């Protein structure tokens, strides 16, 4: 029979293991690179592929945090190999979204969403069937048809968030209508492709706000004020990012204790 000290020791090891930071996988569309890094040390990158020419304007892990998907500007939805960025599978995106792709995200329930911007139409939110590539229009994200929503990200509680580069602000998206309620401006001159994602293990929105000439402010986003707090310098580039969230410590401890309890029952 396992002793209490053994149980606690095992739980402590699980807690320590879960303290490791969530890895970020990123496509640098300016430098044609596929890289990974600890989300707290963005300058220490592992280069997984160079000469990486696919232009991905959306990048995210599925709900289980196991499969990485990239959405090309051409409308191809690819599942990527985490080791080198090679394409494992692909489907063509069809339906309501066929051009102007700006963002891709999965919520914890497995629902997938795509954002697009088309001149004269505006920024739109669509649902996505990952298996078939079919999209269905949800609605216009802003009444201003010139306002560009450049990326979207799903929070661990199911909320959907957006980044606008016309107004330089983050906002919460109504998942039923697409309408976005904007926070105050973050004060950075965001332009071109932008990357952001939630770390579900810490409920933190992290963004690489690109301001041109390879320069980014990479940091956490305050979901009340919209301000971006830098996490440190990041290698020059223009990043689409996806965070592979690790389980939070409490969850890991409960799982460890549950596994030991089950093992104990089997031996009793």
CATH of the domain at 55: 2.120.10.80
In a domain, 81, yes or no: yes
Q: How many Å separate Cα 66 from the centre of its chain?
A: 13
Q: What string of DSSP letters covers 42-103?
A: TTSEEEEEES----EEEEEE-TTS--EEEEETTSEEEEE-TTT--EEEEEE-EET--S-EEE
CA distance 135 to 77: 12
CA neighbor of 57 nearest in space, from 243, 190, 242, 240: 240
What pLDDT, in 10s, does the model give residues 157-169?
A: 999 999 999 999 9
Is the separation of the CB atoms in 216 and 234 below 8 Å? yes
**199: which strand partners?**
204
The model's pTM is 0.86
The verdict on 183 and 268 lying in the same domain is no
Asked if the model's pLDDT at residue 10 lies above 70, the reply is: no
The verdict on 16 and 62 lying in the same domain is no
In a domain, 267, yes or no: yes
The verdict on 106 and 57 lying in the same domain is yes
The verdict on 57 and 157 lying in the same domain is yes
In a domain, 206, yes or no: yes
Q: How many domains does the chain have?
A: 2
What pLDDT, in 10s, does the model give residues 20-58?
A: 579 999 999 999 999 999 999 999 999 999 999 999 999
* Residues written for the chain: 268
In a domain, 251, yes or no: no
**Phi-psi label, residue 189: left if phi above 0, alpha if psi -120 to 50, beta otherwise:** beta
The verdict on 7 and 29 lying in the same domain is no
Alpha helices in the chain (DSSP H): 4-18, 249-267
Collect all residues with Cβ–Cβ distance below 8 Å to 216 and sequence separation of at least 6: 208, 209, 210, 234, 236, 237, 238, 239
Average pLDDT value for residue range 5-11:
38
Q: How many Å separate Cα 8 from the centre of its chain?
A: 34
In a domain, 250, yes or no: no
The verdict on 77 and 67 lying in the same domain is yes
The verdict on 26 and 83 lying in the same domain is yes
Asked if the model's pLDDT at residue 251 lies above 50, the reply is: no
Sign of the alpha-carbon torsion through 136, 142, 147, 149 = negative
- pLDDT bucket at 248, cuts 50 / 70 / 90: low
In a domain, 252, yes or no: no
Collect all residues with Cβ–Cβ distance below 8 Å to 221 and sequence separation of at least 6: 170, 186, 196, 204, 205, 206, 207, 227, 228
The verdict on 137 and 6 lying in the same domain is no
What pLDDT, in 10s, does the model give residues 189-228?
A: 999 999 999 999 999 999 999 999 999 999 999 999 999 9
- pLDDT bucket at 4, cuts 50 / 70 / 90: very low
CA distance 241 to 251: 25
> Three-state SS for 253?
helix
The verdict on 201 and 262 lying in the same domain is no
The verdict on 238 and 264 lying in the same domain is no
CA neighbor of 200 nearest in space, from 256, 243, 151: 243
Average pLDDT value for residue range 131-159:
97
267: containing domain: 1-20+257-268
The verdict on 72 and 42 lying in the same domain is yes
The verdict on 147 and 267 lying in the same domain is no
**Phi-psi label, residue 141: left if phi above 0, alpha if psi -120 to 50, beta otherwise:** alpha
């Amino acid at each position: 029979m396992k002793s209490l000290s053994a149980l606690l020791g095992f739980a402590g090891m699980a807690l320590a293991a879960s303290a490791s930071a969530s890895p970020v996988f990123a496509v640098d569309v300016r430098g044609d690179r596929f890289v990974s890094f600890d989300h707290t040390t963005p300058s220490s990158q592992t280069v997984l592929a160079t000469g990486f020419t696919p232009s991905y304007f959306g990048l995210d892990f599925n709900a289980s945090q196991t499969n990485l998907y990239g959405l090309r500007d051409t409308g191809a939805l690819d599942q990527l190999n985490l080791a080198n960025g090679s394409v494992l599978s692909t489907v063509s995106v069809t339906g309501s979204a066929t051009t102007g792709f700006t963002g891709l995200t999965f919520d914890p329930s497995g629902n997938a969403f795509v954002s697009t911007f088309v001149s004269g139409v505006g920024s739109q939110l669509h649902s996505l069937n990952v298996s078939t590539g079919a999209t269905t229009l949800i609605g216009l994200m802003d009444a201003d048809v010139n306002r560009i929503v450049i990326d979207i990200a799903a929070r661990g509680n199911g909320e959907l968030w957006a980044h606008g580069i016309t107004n330089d602000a983050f906002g919460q998206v109504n998942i039923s209508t697409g309408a976005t309620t904007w926070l105050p401006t973050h004060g950075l001159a965001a332009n071109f492709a932008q990357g952001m994602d939630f770390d579900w293990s810490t409920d933190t929105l992290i963004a690489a706000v690109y301001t041109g000439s390879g320069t980014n402010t990479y940091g956490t986003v305050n979901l009340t004020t919209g301000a971006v707090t830098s996490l440190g310098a990041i290698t020059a580039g223009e990043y689409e990012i996806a965070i592979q969230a690790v389980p939070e410590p409490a969850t890991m401890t409960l799982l460890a204790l549950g596994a030991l309890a089950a093992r104990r029952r089997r031996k009793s």
